[in-house]
Amino acid sequence: MNLIPWHPFRELESLGRDFFAANPFFGGLATPRVDVLQTETEVIVKAEIPGVSKEDLNVYIEDSVLRLSGQAKKDSEFKDEHVYRTERYYGSFSRTVPLPVEVKSEQAQADYQNGILTIRIPKVEPARMKGRRIDIH
């Protein structure tokens, strides 16, 4: 039987992490969750942004940084006095994602389906050596 060392603050760490991740005042729900993947030719960013129309999303690529922002709007159908419980986040959100390599931002493409924003950005080809080999005599 293996013994596992006891860490008295392990449970507190996970509770604190869960609190900050779920609290919009600390950036938890107010920032979309993202996956950044890369193939040999492109960088792919997938962001969870459910309940937001594509007209309310903004995507900017500058240098090797991707910026996502937008607005999650409340339904105008219900007034505050009719709300029994609300847990969804409404309001502005923003997320800055550093990209792992230099990309061709002018060739980026974005697609938004079922609450998932997928951005495909071609990579810049590695620079070839501009010099030439010189023979030594």
65-91 pLDDT, tens digit each: 999 999 888 766 666 677 777 777 778
4-14 pLDDT, tens digit each: 666 666 566 65
∠ CA 79-84-85 to the nearest 5 degrees? 105
pLDDT above 50 (res 56): yes
d(CA 74, CA 42): 36
Kindly report the pTM of this predicted structure. Answer: 0.67
- Judge contact between 121 and 107, C-beta under 8 A: yes
Domains of the chain: residue spans and CATH: 32-122 (2.60.40.790)
Residue 28's pLDDT band, with cuts at 50, 70 and 90, is very low
Q: Which residues contact 10 (CB under 8 A, 6 or more apart)?
A: none
C-alpha to C-alpha distances, 91 to 56, 88, 94, nearest whole angstrom? 11, 10, 10
Radius of gyration for the alpha carbons in the chain, expressed in angstroms and rounded: 22
